[in-house]
Amino acid sequence: MVALVQSATALPVLLFSLFGGALADLWDRRLVFMIGQVIVLSGATLIAVLEGVGAVTPWLLLALVFILDTGSALRQPAYQATVGDLVPRSELPMAVALNSIGFNIARSVGPAIGGLVVAGFGVQASFILNAVSNVFIIGVLLMWRPKRPVDELPREHLLPAMVSGLRYVGGSPTVLTVMLRCFVFTGLAGAVWALLPLVARQDLGGGPSTYGILLTSLGIGAIIGALNIGTLRRRTSGQVMVALGTTCFAVATLVVGLMQSLYAVVPALVLGGAAWMTTLSSFNVMVQLSAANWVKARVLSIYQMSLFGGLALGSWGWGHAAEAIGTGQALAIAGAGLLVSLVLGFRFRLPANIAPDLSPITALPRPTLAPGVDAGPGSVAVTVEYDVDPAKADAFTAAMRSLRRLRKRDGAVRWTLYQDAAKPSRWVEAFLLPSWLDDLRHQRRATMADRGTLDRVRAFHQGNEPPRVSHLLARGTPRMGWPPGADAAE
């Protein structure tokens, strides 16, 4: 049943997080946040009512946990993206850390407060208090009136917007690297979170109070780590911070697994809490600084899926490992695995602390329709013609590979580079967009950080005139038609 509770907690994140991220990017983030909060309030209220009439069963509790975490999965991308909207990019690391401090204070003192409420007023009172706290959050959201940029284009449809988020992440090596490192870290570090109740009961011979002490130790460490994130970022890089955090958490995991003394485990968990906070805050900031505003909530939702996916998979795996070989041995293997995972830093390096300029390039020419021309519902093929010195063909194609990644990241569904057989200096870049609106959106998604790639490609073009760009509307062909031979050449 404990494993099912963990599944009921993690499954909504995997199912609904991207959906919530798309809603937060397309609609008012405050409204999306509020919808998620109302779902959480509904679940909390149901638990309180059913507990009062004695109708709570294990399976019903699982269903209610699923409802609670569904609301959380929907609201979290909007909440995370809003943090970046409220502060300048230079202050984002400290804003993320401050948010984490509040969470970890709640996690540290929450169990103690909950225990006092249960002891003094009963189980139902704790559920009622939880529901009431959600009412206050909704009240704050009702009073908050953030400014939202006005987009002159119609909103994307929900399903294509979700696909756009996945495509953006797939075309962003930095984001993919951060998510891979996060998944590996949480999958291994999840052993501590999954096995801590067993450590408290079996290794330390304690009960709920001992488990509360261990959780509080992690929370105190997390607060200490959050308070020092700013200093660490000023003195070192994200790559070093993650390596340091991984090493410290590995040491803490080994101590918890090998030492059966509360006096050794508590300081180890304080160290582990600081390492956990430093590492995850670094990942979060890297993702936020690497995602353009139009897709930020979707990227954060996918990052959230990697984080919770690693924790869920790790919890499941380490639980089975503890049953097979014992809690201490499982934790020792997890700690050793964290140390081994440091080699990922040589192959998958994390970005520097310098934030890329993700403001849109406003100087790019916008596609236009001639008077009387109807774009129609079909696809749009965009072609760009270059005149390149044949002696520089290899360097040009290498530069175009980087441009291909940007085109597909921003919405192109297919991309091909052609060379004229009769005139080797003539090259044609062609990429396909699902509709005219997608073509307009594609032009608006290029950022100042992409300028270097665009300029490198442009430097190969000979002549005073810029490359010729054409936007070709599909007529009398399948909706996603494409020039013959493109699949073979792609």
Q: What is the pLDDT of residues 247-274, one digit of tens each?
A: 999 999 999 999 989 999 999 999 999 9
Give dist(CA 303, CA 17) in Å, integer.
9
Does 363 fall in a domain?
no
Q: Into how many domains does the chain fold?
A: 2
Q: 386 and 293 in one domain?
A: no
**Domain stops at, among 298, 330, 347:** 347
Q: Is residue 371 part of a domain?
A: no
Copy the structure tokens of residue 61: 């509790």
Closest among 172, 177, 188 to 282, alpha carbons compared: 177
| pLDDT value at 131 more than 90 | no
Q: Is residue 361 part of a domain?
A: no
Domain boundary residue, one of 347, 362, 393: 347
Check whether residue 291 and residue 395 sit in a common domain. no
453-490: pLDDT as tens digits: 999 999 999 988 899 999 999 887 555 555 544 443 33
Q: Tell me, what's the pLDDT at 479?
A: 52
Considering the domain boundaries, does residue 368 fall inside one?
no
pLDDT at residue number 337: 96
**In a domain? residue 440:** yes
Tell whether 318 and 229 lie within a shared domain: yes
Distance CA 190, CA 186 (A): 5
**Host domain of residue 411:** 380-489
Please indicate, yes or no, whether residues 37 and 185 belong to a single structural domain of this protein: yes
Q: Identify whether residues 339 and 471 lie together within a single domain.
A: no
pTM of structure:
0.87
Do the domain assignments include residue 221? yes
Same domain, 67 and 108: yes
- Check whether residue 340 and residue 215 sit in a common domain: yes
373: in domain: no
CB 390 within 8 A of CB 424: yes
Residues 141, 70 within the same domain: yes
State how far the alpha carbon of 50 is from the alpha carbons of 5, 6, 117, in Å: 18, 21, 18
Would you say residue 364 lies in a domain?
A: no
Please tell me the distance from the alpha carbon of residue 253 to that of residue 186, in angstroms, as a whole number.
13
The model's pLDDT over 395-450, given as tens digits with 9 standing for 90+, comes to 999 999 999 999 999 999 999 999 999 999 999 999 999 999 999 999 899 999 99
The predicted-structure confidence for 52-93, as pLDDT tens digits, reads as follows: 888 878 888 888 888 988 998 999 999 888 887 788 877 877
Q: What pLDDT, on a 0 to 100 scale, did the predictor assign at position 128? A: 87
List of residues 6+ apart from 323 with CB closer than 8 A: none
Instruction: Specify the range with the lowest mean pLDDT, choosing from 50-59, 89-98, 197-206, 322-331.
Output: 89-98
Residue 429's CATH number: 3.30.70.100
C-beta of residue 232 within 8 angstroms of C-beta of residue 241? yes
The mean pLDDT of the chain is 87
My answer on whether 340 and 435 are in the same domain is no
State whether 317 and 391 are in the same domain. Answer: no
Which of 347, 372, 401 finishes a domain? 347
Task: Please report the pLDDT score of residue 489 as a whole number.
Answer: 38
Element (H, E) at 310: helix 296-325
pLDDT given for residue 460 in this prediction: 96
Q: What angle do CA 223, 229, 235 make, to 5 degrees?
A: 150
CA distance 192 to 69: 22
Categorize the per-residue pLDDT at 122 as very low, low, confident or very high, splitting at 50, 70 and 90.
Answer: confident
Tell me the pLDDT band of 124, cut-offs 50, 70 and 90. Answer: confident
Assess whether 389 and 342 both reside in one domain.
Answer: no
32, 75 Cβ separation under 8 angstroms: yes
Kindly report the CATH number assigned to the domain that includes residue 313: 1.20.1250.20
Domain check: are 391 and 343 in the same one?
A: no
